[in-house]
């Protein structure tokens, strides 16, 4: 668990440092503590660039650290080291940075480290001396004498501890990396409570802990797992953790999995496993599979315990949050369904590392929609970090998933079955977006279509509700980036009008349209002429031509 005295993590329930995921990660520690090795592993896990400061200074001087010390003195080296630290800390892209052992001897440097995510790899002096063996000792100007070495270690120990969180450097580098990941990715679980039932949402539940976590939850109950078939072909730590639990692999992926035939197969497997109402179905996959599994759990014996483990960002911020379950019928989406609240939802951010970029975009579009609706701070962070988010920075993606899921859960808790109309705001960008998606089906992704839908909604909001033009322009720019750099061409007006007539939220022939008065302030227009939406589409095209 994070030490919240050191790092204030966004929980949306209290004031906190919400710049946390945008910060550089610095590794400090004495010689031999493994900063460079751990740093490379950590950077790879987080999809962040890695910088080894000593290596950079060696390139800058075109000579080794020992040679710089011998020719120019330690004071000169420390001056250039501080210059590099200042430069790295001022750059826009968050990095994992391995510092030199003496970085903490400058108060200026310490102030920078304290404002970042700094982790002190603590290695006892004796172990450090052993690691800095005779072969490497010649490259370390301060490792010539064991007595002086231990005295320097003692001098710096307290300085390291004041600059960041302490981790033992004695385990293997991969274990140290895992310990730091557990620290920075962990988020306090939160609850979605509705109709006397509670769903616990864990936005950090790594596969390595799945067996222990499930064991604590199940007790004497049994479980069955429904998984995407890609995990059969490419098994991972989750498969091994649940080796003793029966597994059913869905025959299809995506929307093709959401059929009554597939649901029947899952229900028959549940009956064959002799599950009863006290037992659990655990579903691991994307949004289509969590929809399918949730429907089966809700139908089987009138309701079975359910745990959802989304493996895409879209499922984590949308499909797995909200209690909706459905399959398609006769080519129409989500025609057979029910509401069934899971007992738990688990997200393992590390799974997101392996996703292709287009799947990140799918989830990010939904997350950005949620930010526009509820969270100007999150919206601004996504805009500020759009390049790094699209590059797959895992700490940023994890925080986006956590905040988005929490906002949706807060809303769903007030209107689980959509009877009060409160969930209508979640349709922001989807009214026009669904029409575009249907026109191009099956050749256009949901995310690209909704990104265009959000841009149209922003033009409508600017023109009809006074949304700030400059904010609208910037937000449309983010939507365009999330769409892959360019929006799809709008369908012809006649086709758009026909497709809008099939919108599932039409009531009494009236088309609702969700707009924004300002970031975080939404409005639902209960009856919008199709012509007003088409006018916003033309306004978007006009703005693009004039840009």
- Residue 275, both tokens: 């599950």
Give the pLDDT confidence score for residue 244 in this predicted structure: 84
What is the rounded distance in angstroms from the CA atom of residue 480 to the CA atom of residue 269?
44
Give 167-177 pLDDT, tens digit per residue. Answer: 999 999 999 99
Residue 15 has pLDDT above 50, yes or no: no
Residue 9 has pLDDT above 50, yes or no: no
Beta strands in 173-304 (DSSP E): 190-194, 197-202, 223-227, 247-249, 280-285
Residue 488 has pLDDT above 80, yes or no: yes
**Taking residues 441-461, what's their average pLDDT?**
95
Give 458-485 pLDDT, tens digit per residue. Answer: 999 999 999 999 999 999 999 999 999 9
Give the pLDDT confidence score for residue 211 in this predicted structure: 87
Give 389-437 pLDDT, tens digit per residue. Answer: 999 999 999 999 999 999 999 999 999 998 999 999 999 999 999 999 9
Among 354, 364, 359, residue whose Cα is nearest residue 397:
364
User: pLDDT confidence of 18, banded at 50, 70, 90?
Assistant: confident
Q: Which residue has the higher pLDDT, 130 or 299?
A: 299
Q: Would the CA dihedral through 434, 440, 442, 443 be positive or negative?
A: negative
User: DSSP letters along 387-407, please?
Assistant: HHHHTT-HHHHHHHHHHHHHH
Give the pLDDT confidence score for residue 138 in this predicted structure: 54
Weakest mean pLDDT among 128-142, 213-227, 398-412: 128-142
Give the pLDDT confidence score for residue 3 in this predicted structure: 46
Give 245-256 pLDDT, tens digit per residue. Answer: 999 999 988 888
Percent of the chain beyond pLDDT 70? 93
What is the rounded distance in angstroms from the CA atom of residue 13 to the CA atom of residue 309?
24
Q: Which residue has the higher pLDDT, 68 or 519?
A: 519
Weakest mean pLDDT among 34-48, 62-76, 518-532: 62-76
Among 416, 419, 447, residue whose Cα is nearest residue 434:
447
Residue 209 has pLDDT above 70, yes or no: yes
What is the rounded distance in angstroms from the CA atom of residue 31 to the CA atom of residue 143?
8
Residue 541 has pLDDT above 90, yes or no: yes
Q: What share of the chain is helix, strand, coil (3-state, %, to 5)?
A: 55, 15, 30
Weakest mean pLDDT among 352-361, 436-445, 478-487: 352-361
- Which of 12-21, 299-308, 501-510 holds the top average pLDDT? 299-308
Percent of the chain beyond pLDDT 90? 72
**Taking residues 213-235, what's their average pLDDT?**
90
384, 449, 48, 62: CA torsion to nearest 10: -80
User: pLDDT confidence of 507, banded at 50, 70, 90?
Assistant: low
Give the pLDDT confidence score for residue 494 in this predicted structure: 94
Give per-residue burial for 162-189: e unless 16+ CB within 10 Å, then b.
Answer: ebbbebebeeebeebbbebbebbbbbee
Q: What is the mean pLDDT of the chain?
A: 90
Residues 478 and 458 sit within 8 Å (Cβ to Cβ)? no
User: pLDDT confidence of 70, banded at 50, 70, 90?
Assistant: confident
Give the pLDDT confidence score for residue 456 in this predicted structure: 98
- Cis amide bond preceding 19, omega within 30: no
| Residues in contact with 163: Cβ distance below 8 Å, sequence separation at least 6, in sequence order | 28, 104, 110, 113, 114, 118, 120
Give the pLDDT confidence score for residue 14 in this predicted structure: 33
Dihedrals φ, ψ of 97, to 5°? -125, 120
User: pLDDT confidence of 143, banded at 50, 70, 90?
Assistant: low
Residues 512 and 505 sit within 8 Å (Cβ to Cβ)? yes
Domains of the chain: 20-184 (3.40.50.300), 187-355 (3.40.50.1970), 417-546 (1.20.1090.10)
User: pLDDT confidence of 335, banded at 50, 70, 90?
Assistant: confident
Burial class (CB in 10 A: 0-12, 13-18, 19+), 460: buried
Q: Which residue has the higher pLDDT, 243 or 122?
A: 122
Residues 129 and 150 sit within 8 Å (Cβ to Cβ)? yes
Give 76-114 pLDDT, tens digit per residue. Answer: 999 999 999 999 999 999 999 999 999 999 999 999 999
Q: Read off the pTM.
A: 0.91
Q: Which residue has the higher pLDDT, 278 or 546?
A: 278
Give the pLDDT confidence score for residue 281 in this predicted structure: 97
User: pLDDT confidence of 505, banded at 50, 70, 90?
Assistant: low
């Amino acid at each position: 668990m994070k030490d919240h005295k050191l790092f204030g993590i966004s929980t949306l329930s209290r004031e906190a440092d919400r710049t946390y995921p945008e910060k550089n990660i610095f590794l400090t520690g004495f010689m031999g503590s493994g900063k460079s090795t751990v740093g490379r592993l950590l950077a790879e896990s987080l999809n962040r660039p890695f910088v080894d400061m000593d290596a950079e200074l060696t390139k800058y001087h075109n000579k080794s650290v020992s040679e710089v010390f011998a020719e120019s003195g330690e004071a000169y080296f420390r001056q250039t080291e501080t210059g590099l630290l200042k430069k790295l800390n001022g750059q826009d892209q968050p990095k994992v940075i391995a510092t030199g052992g003496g970085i903490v001897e400058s108060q200026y440097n310490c102030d920078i480290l304290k404002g970042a995510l700094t982790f002190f790899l603590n290695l006892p002096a004796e172990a450090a001396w052993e690691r800095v063996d005779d072969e490497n000792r010649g490259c370390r100007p301060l490792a010539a004498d064991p007595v002086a070495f231990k005295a320097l270690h003692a001098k710096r120990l307290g300085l390291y501890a004041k600059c960041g969180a302490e981790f033992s450097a004695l385990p293997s580098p991969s274990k140290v990396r895992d310990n730091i990941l557990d620290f920075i990715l962990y988020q306090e679980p939160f609850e979605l409570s509705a109709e006397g039932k509670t769903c616990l949402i864990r936005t950090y539940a790594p596969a390595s802990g799945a067996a222990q976590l499930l064991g604590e939850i199940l007790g004497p109950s049994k479980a069955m797992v429904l998984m995407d078939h890609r995990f059969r072909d490419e098994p991972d730590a989750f498969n091994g953790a649940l080796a003793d639990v029966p597994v059913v692999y869905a025959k299809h992926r995506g929307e093709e999995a959401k059929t009554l035939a597939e649901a029947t197969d899952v229900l028959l497997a549940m009956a064959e496993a002799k599950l009863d109402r006290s037992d659990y179905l655990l579903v691991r996959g994307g949004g289509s599979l969590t929809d399918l599994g949730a429907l089966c759990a809700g139908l089987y014996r009138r309701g079975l315990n359910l745990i959802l483990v989304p493996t895409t960002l879209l499922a984590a911020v949308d499909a797995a949050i909200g209690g909706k379950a459905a399959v398609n019928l006769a080519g129409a989406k989500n025609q057979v369904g029910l509401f069934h609240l899971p007992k738990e939802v688990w997200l393992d951010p590390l799974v997101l590392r392996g996703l292709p970029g287009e799947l990140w975009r799918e989830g990010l579009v939904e997350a950005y929609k949620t930010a526009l609706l509820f969270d100007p701070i999150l919206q601004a962070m996504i805009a500020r970090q759009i390049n790094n988010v699209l590059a797959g920075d895992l700490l940023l993606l994890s925080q986006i998933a956590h905040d988005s899921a929490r906002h949706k859960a807060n809303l769903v808790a007030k209107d689980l079955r959509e009877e009060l109309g409160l969930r209508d705001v979640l349709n922001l960008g989807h009214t026009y977006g669904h029409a575009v998606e249907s026109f191009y089906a099956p050749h256009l992704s949901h995310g690209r279509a909704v990104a265009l839908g959000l841009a149209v909604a922003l033009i409508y909001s600017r023109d009809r509700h006074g949304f700030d033009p400059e904010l609208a322009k910037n937000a449309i720019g983010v939507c365009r980036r999330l769409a892959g750099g360019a929006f799809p061409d709008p369908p012809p007006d006649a086709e758009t009008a026909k497709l809008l007539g099939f919108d599932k939220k039409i009531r009494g022939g009236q088309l609702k349209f969700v707009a924004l008065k300002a970031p975080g302030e939404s409005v639902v227009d209960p009856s919008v002429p199709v012509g007003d939406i088409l006018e916003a589409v033309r306004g978007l095209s006009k703005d693009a031509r004039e840009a």
